[in-house]
Amino acid sequence: YFELSVAKKKRVLNKIKGPPTLPILGNAHQVGKSPAAILNTLFDWWYEYDKDNYRMWIGYNGNICVTNPKHLEVILNSITLIKKSGIYDLLNPWLGEGLLTSTGSKWHKHRKMITPAFHFNILQDFHQVMNENSTKFIKRLKKVSAGDSIIDFQDETHYLTLDVICDTAMGVTINAIEQRDTVEVVKAFKDMCYNINMRAFHPFKRSELLYRLAPDYPANVKTLKILQDFTNEIIEKRIEAHRTGIAKKTEDNEFSRKKMAFLDTLLSSTIDGRPLNQQEIYEEVSTFMFEGHDTTTSGVAYAAYLLSRFPEEQRKLFEEQRAVMGNEMHRDATFQEIAEMKYLDLFIKEAQRVYPSVPFIGRYTEKDYVIHGTTIPKGTALTLVLIILGYDDRIFKEPHRFYPERFETEKPGPFEYLPFSAGPRNCIGQKFAMLEIKTVVSKLVRTFEILPAVDELVSKDGYLNTYLGLPKAEKEKKESQGHKYDPILSAVLTLKSENGLHLRLHERK
Ligand code: HEM
């Protein structure tokens, strides 16, 4: 039955180059079992199929991995090709149909309604929250890095970004930096993100139905409930506060802040002339909670890791901090000062080129499309492999060289560098994310000298210690000479390092 139902689609899709398939499995057996293996396979096939798009079959599901900027342009600019692929279904139990996962007219209306929440003035208020939490973060780092200790910076960062997003999205403080996993909801956020990533490529756990039989299913149900109850309780309180007008009063209570949280914007917005109902508010707030912290965790953590490996770039960044902040290096940088830090901007851009927080995104065709002469049949998943662009030597010279200044001279086209995607469904939180990463990195580099886990790991030639995008044999040879503290890049919904991001911090005098 399956063979017959996909026969026509197979004839069309198999015109695109791609690995040979087995009956029933397709290429599922080759894709790799872990998020790290999958990323390697995607790169290996890209090499094998002339550094262009290629197709693969996961069972009877046809999938095109899109890496060609001309094709990416058509897909991302399309106003009809906006439905997300199946992998996003894993987010549904938690996020429902929020901005990231919804489609059609619901997505259009919500995107229009939410856009003002990132207005310049609101972002300036959010900057204050970012500064306050960065200060707490620095305090915590001083403690854990004392005595030349090696710390897992990826793990530490997670709590910082969670505090920032809880405060900006919901207007509440959960003190994750200080209290960490002792707070039930903090642990729940961490467990949920881990669970989604782990299930994404698990042959059985991926299915909502089969996952019910898994031993970890009951724990996941509990985690989900903790998150739902936490978010709904805050929404209910906030609705009540708006109703009774407390939110407008200036007295000192938990709703008296002058700054607007994202939740306040939602409560004062309308769709089709009516206010949003609680479920709609829940979906959008939860979407921000997920998308707004898991991505920035890898953004901040990989930036710090790169600083530890590239001392010359760190020196330039520090010099710029001195030039902008003068002899007031210990106070918060203002919104304006962050905007003046040009080298910091180049540094983060380069960090997102080599370690983009969102390595790939997915779409699903609801009708046949012809893109630059290639027919893509209805019912095909498209995996837009954004991370590959950063390693394409036709776009970036010497892609494995970490060189922030390249963005001053090499000008990638609008669809050749896409950490925040592009087109109508691009990242709505881009400015928020860049501001947060810059605020933290600015303060970090002013407070500490950032060193690799062991001195010998410092880059001596300006090249990365990770080898994605090299021909398979060369990559395997270099990886075999790697160090236990070199990151193992792992990608599902966001880019992480499977073995953490280890470094040392020495307080500057
Ligand atoms: C370094 C940090 C970030 C990166 C690299 C990033 C990247 C992206 C990318 C590539 C997409 C497109 C997803 C897709 O098409 O499936 C996206 C969408 C989105 N991002 Fe971000 N993001 C970051 C931070 C944030 C933050 C901080 C927020 C919120 C505060 C946010 C909210 C969203 C939302 C709501 C969407 C869905 C937009 C839509 O479909 O209309 N992101 N992001």
Q: What is the pLDDT of residues 152-200, one digit of tens each?
A: 999 999 999 999 999 999 988 999 999 988 889 989 998 998 888 778 7
HSE of 182, CA atoms in CB hemisphere, 13 A: 4
CA pair distance 234, 226, nearest whole angstrom: 12
Residue 323 inside a domain? The answer is yes
CA pair distance 146, 505, nearest whole angstrom: 8
Ligand 1 pocket, 423 CB below 6 A?
A: no
Q: Largest Cα–Cα distance in the chain?
A: 73
At 346, list the tokens: 């180049």
CA pair distance 186, 290, nearest whole angstrom: 12
Mean pLDDT for the chain overall:
92
Ligand 1 pocket, 286 CB below 6 A?
A: no
Q: Which helix (H) or strand (E) holds 125?
A: helix 120-144
Q: Which of 1-10, 165-174, 248-257, 382-391 shows the lowest mean pLDDT across its residues? A: 248-257
Residue 280 inside a domain? The answer is yes
Q: What are phi and psi of 62, to 5 degrees?
A: -75, 140
CA 360 to chain centre: 10
* Residue 247: per-residue pLDDT: 59
pLDDT band for position 283 (cuts 50, 70, 90)? very high
Instruction: Extract long-range pairs of 197-202: CB within 8 Å, 24+ residues apart.
Output: 197/35, 197/492, 197/493, 197/494, 197/496, 199/90, 200/35, 200/87, 200/90, 200/492, 200/493, 201/31, 201/32, 201/33, 201/34, 201/35, 201/38, 201/492
Q: What is the pTM of this model?
A: 0.95
Q: For residue 100, report the distance from its CA to the centre of ligand 1, in Å.
A: 8
Q: For residue 254, report the distance from its CA to the centre of ligand 1, in Å.
A: 29
Ligand 1 pocket, 68 CB below 6 A?
A: no
Ligand 1 pocket, 100 CB below 6 A?
A: yes
Query: Which of the 8 DSSP states describes residue 80?
Result: S
Q: For residue 420, report the distance from its CA to the centre of ligand 1, in Å.
A: 6
Closest atom of ligand 1 to CA, residue 432: 27
Query: Do 58 and 27 form a contact (C-beta atoms < 8 A)?
Result: yes
Residue 321 inside a domain? The answer is yes
Overall number of domains in the chain = 1
Residue 378 inside a domain? The answer is no
Residue nearest to atom 23 of ligand 1 (CA): 295
* Residue 119: per-residue pLDDT: 84
Nearest to 46 by CA among 408, 445, 290, 360: 360
Residue 328 inside a domain? The answer is yes
Ligand 1 pocket, 211 CB below 6 A?
A: no
Residue 360 inside a domain? The answer is no
* Residue 509: per-residue pLDDT: 84
Bigger pLDDT: 35 vs 150:
150
Q: For residue 17, report the distance from its CA to the centre of ligand 1, in Å.
A: 31
CA pair distance 165, 287, nearest whole angstrom: 11
Q: Which of 72, 166, 295 to mutate to test the pocket of ligand 1 (most atoms within 8 A of CB)?
A: 295
For residue 441, the domain's CATH number is: 1.10.630.10
- Tens digit of each residue's pLDDT (9 = 90 or more) over 335-351: 999 999 999 999 999 99
Q: Which residues contact 449 (CB under 8 A, 6 or more apart)?
A: 314, 505, 506, 508
Ligand 1 pocket, 288 CB below 6 A?
A: yes
- How large is the average pLDDT for residues 76-98? 94
Ligand 1 pocket, 432 CB below 6 A?
A: yes
Ligand 1 pocket, 420 CB below 6 A?
A: yes
pLDDT band for position 253 (cuts 50, 70, 90)? very low
- Tens digit of each residue's pLDDT (9 = 90 or more) over 111-124: 999 998 888 888 99
Strand partners, 55: 64
Question: Do the annotations mark residue 166 as ligand-binding?
Answer: no
Residue nearest to atom 43 of ligand 1 (CA): 427
Residue 63 inside a domain? The answer is no
Query: Do 64 and 371 form a contact (C-beta atoms < 8 A)?
Result: no
CA 424 to chain centre: 18
At 506, list the tokens: 């020495």
- How large is the average pLDDT for residues 244-269? 68
CA pair distance 76, 423, nearest whole angstrom: 5
- What residues make up the domain containing 485? 84-354+421-507
HSE of 338, CA atoms in CB hemisphere, 13 A: 24
Residue nearest to atom 27 of ligand 1 (CA): 292
Nearest to 216 by CA among 186, 187, 196: 196
Q: For residue 215, report the distance from its CA to the centre of ligand 1, in Å.
A: 32
Q: What are phi and psi of 450, to 5 degrees?
A: -100, 120
Closest atom of ligand 1 to CA, residue 356: 5
Hey, how many other C-beta atoms are within 10 angstroms of the C-beta on 430? 13
Q: For residue 193, report the distance from its CA to the centre of ligand 1, in Å.
A: 15
Q: Is the pLDDT of residue 29 over 90?
A: no
* Residue 32: per-residue pLDDT: 77
Ligand 1 pocket, 353 CB below 6 A?
A: no
HSE of 205, CA atoms in CB hemisphere, 13 A: 15
Q: For residue 356, report the distance from its CA to the centre of ligand 1, in Å.
A: 12
Q: What Cα–Cα distance (Å) separates residue 4 from each residue in 7, 8, 19, 23, 458?
A: 5, 8, 21, 13, 56
pLDDT band for position 99 (cuts 50, 70, 90)? very high
Q: Which of 93-97, 313-317, 492-496 shows the lowest mean pLDDT across its residues? A: 492-496
Amino acid found at 155 = D
Residue 88 inside a domain? The answer is yes
Q: Is the pLDDT of residue 258 over 60?
A: no
Strands 274-275, 54-58: pairing is unpaired
Strand partners, 274: 271
Q: For residue 70, report the distance from its CA to the centre of ligand 1, in Å.
A: 22
